[in-house]
Structure 1
Amino acid sequence: MTRDEFEQAVRGCEDKLFRIAFLSLRNWADCQDAVQEALLKAWSASASLKHAEYFDTWLVRILINVIRDATRRAARHPTLELSDAYPGADFVPPDPDLANAVRALDGRLRAPLLLKYVAGYSVGEVARILRITPAQARWRLEQARKKLRASLGDREATL
């Protein structure tokens, strides 16, 4: 994969990456760091990608692993959170109550929820990305929706 091909493929899924990272992490800076780290890892491993049509799925999987590592680091080494700044007019942060409710979910429930509703993957694709069965993906999605309903009540919210 050439640099131009890589950049073009990234442009096609950049918004999805930022949405997943923002809803998984606590602030915009951590979101940017996670996406950048995922892109660096993807670029350095791009020669190992055998099927270019799976680039999007492959990159999201790398991002999920980066987010998981960042979450573990943050748990071991808590930091003081500064106020978030949202540069750029093209990114609109989600409803704060919904974002907090999503962040409060266990990672096993949060990842399939973000992949399905933010990234737009099918249940089968979610299962493949997370390396679980489609039945497990459906169950985790249902559990995540139940917890969000309990947390948010009757209020409508969108990711």
Structure 2
Amino acid sequence: MNSFPNYMIRVEDRKGAVDLHFIVLLSAKKNAIPLVLLHGWYGWPGSFLEFLPKLELFREKYDAYALPFHIIVPLLPGYTLSSKSPQDNAWIAEDAARTINTGMSMLNVDQYVVQGGDVGCLVAGILVSQHPSMVGIHCQYLFNLSYQLKMLKSSGESSSFP
């Protein structure tokens, strides 16, 4: 874990502040694509640790000038090193998605691709539903596809799927 840069930012939210922990593997390429990897429940209680072997593979295969992505791996609020959600407010997946997106904005990341598995897939689907011009998505589960389509329809956004 310590072989990758670790950061913590305080995300102020309408429901309270959350300290968001994340690790990064940055590219030196000017046009590198920001890729946000969201963990799930795997390896209870779930954390970015499940991504460390994949980050290691990227680091072994690419030097900083060839790496096609800026890889950002935040810990969802309430997991491991990120703080718990504010106790006086009930937090749901929409709150986690908003926190992740605000965190990316704080890092000057305006457009990004998000990948999620399990709980991360739910948060990723909400991200693309709430911010369709800002993110692309890859999910390992399809349980939130109907939710995503419902959110796009209710927001008035048009959607097309191959």
TM-score range, shorter chain: 0.3 to 0.5
Specify which structure has the bigger relative contact order, considering alpha-carbon pairs within 8 angstroms and separated by 6 or more residues.
1
More helix by share: 1
Normalising to structure 1: TM-score of the pair? Answer: 0.33
More strand by share: 2
